[in-house]
Amino acid sequence: MKEIKKLTVTDLMKNKEQYQVKENVTEEVYIDRLGASVTIRKPEKSLCIEGMQMAQDPNLVGKSDAFIVYNVLVEPNLKDKQLQKEFGCVEPTDIVDKIFEPGEIGNIAKLALELVGYTKALKKVKDLKN
């Protein structure tokens, strides 16, 4: 059985760079249907909270993932006004549904939330030892 190390204050201070939360984290994501990749950035806490609140609102069901994708995609820049005009968008977030399939939108949003730890399950030490 593997020994599980307990994190200490000394560890945190000695290895500050390793443990400190990183800002400006990006991830390149390959979209098979498009045959190309897009770049997402780690969402801010406020964006995650707003997206989760939208998911709970019956009037906004299905809009939260598109909202998150619209705000975390850095390349291509979905906020480009010319791009939105070209695709005939009424609302700025309409561009997400015009470019990505529903499953792609959900998967991109999930990956973005993973960058801030929202969708990764934590494990109890006692479960790891069994």
**CA–CA gap between residue 79 and residue 104 (Å, rounded):** 18
User: Is 20 domain-assigned?
Assistant: no
Return the CATH number at 42.
3.30.2220.30
Domain containing 125 equals 25-129
Total number of domains constituting the chain: 1
Whether the predicted model's global pTM rises above the 0.85 cut: no
User: Is 1 domain-assigned?
Assistant: no
Written as tens digits, the pLDDT of the chain (130 aa) is: 577 888 778 877 787 777 777 788 899 999 999 999 999 999 988 888 888 888 888 887 778 899 999 999 999 999 999 999 999 999 999 999 999 999 999 999 999 988 888 766 666 666 666 5
CA-nearest of 112, 71, 120 to 93 is 71
User: Is 9 domain-assigned?
Assistant: no
